[in-house]
Amino acid sequence: MSTPALSVVIPAFNEAAYLPRYLPSVLASLTRWEEITGRTGEVVVVDNASTDATADMASSFGVRVVTESVRNIGRVRNTGAAAARSGWLFFTDADVALPLEAVIAAAAAMDAGAVGGAIPPLYTPERLGARLLCAYWDHYRTRRGGAQGVNQFCTADAFHHIGGYRDDLFMSEDVEFFARLTAHGQATDRPVTILDELRVRPSTRRYDQWSSLRMLWWQNPVTARLRLRSPRMWRHWYETTVR
Task: Write the CATH number for 59.
Answer: 3.90.550.10
Residue 148 phi/psi, 5-degree rounding, is -85, 160
Q: Which position has the higher pLDDT, 217 or 48?
A: 48
Cβ atoms < 10 Å from Cβ of 127: 15
Query: Using an 8 Å Cβ cutoff, are 110 and 27 in contact?
Result: no
Asked, for residue 189, whether it belongs to a domain, the answer is yes
Asked, for residue 187, whether it belongs to a domain, the answer is yes
How many angstroms separate the CA atoms of 86 and 155, rounded?
9
Asked, for residue 161, whether it belongs to a domain, the answer is yes
How would residue 103 be classed by pLDDT, with cut points 50, 70 and 90?
A: very high
**pLDDT beyond 90 at 147:** no
Q: Region 28-47: what's the mean pLDDT?
A: 98
What pLDDT, on a 0 to 100 scale, did the predictor assign at position 243? 54
Asked, for residue 20, whether it belongs to a domain, the answer is yes
**pLDDT beyond 90 at 183:** yes
Which helix or strand (DSSP H or E) is residue 236 part of?
A: helix 235-239
Share of the chain above pLDDT 70, in %: 98
Task: Indicate the pTM of the whole model.
Answer: 0.93
Q: Give the structural domain span for 17.
A: 6-124+147-203
Asked, for residue 213, whether it belongs to a domain, the answer is no
Q: Region 59-68: what's the mean pLDDT?
A: 98
Asked, for residue 231, whether it belongs to a domain, the answer is no
Q: Which residue stretches of 12-90 are H helix?
A: 19-37, 54-60, 73-83
C-alpha distances out from residue 104 to 87, 92, 198, Å: 15, 15, 11
Task: Count up the domains in the chain and report the number.
Answer: 1
Asked, for residue 233, whether it belongs to a domain, the answer is no
Coil, strand or helix at 118: strand
Which helix or strand (DSSP H or E) is residue 44 part of?
A: strand 41-47
C-alpha distances out from residue 233 to 17, 211, 228, 229, Å: 27, 19, 8, 8
- Cβ-proximal residues to 44 (8 Å cutoff; 6+ apart), any chain: 7, 8, 9, 10, 63, 64, 65, 66, 80, 83, 84
Asked, for residue 98, whether it belongs to a domain, the answer is yes
Query: Using an 8 Å Cβ cutoff, are 19 and 52 in contact?
Result: no
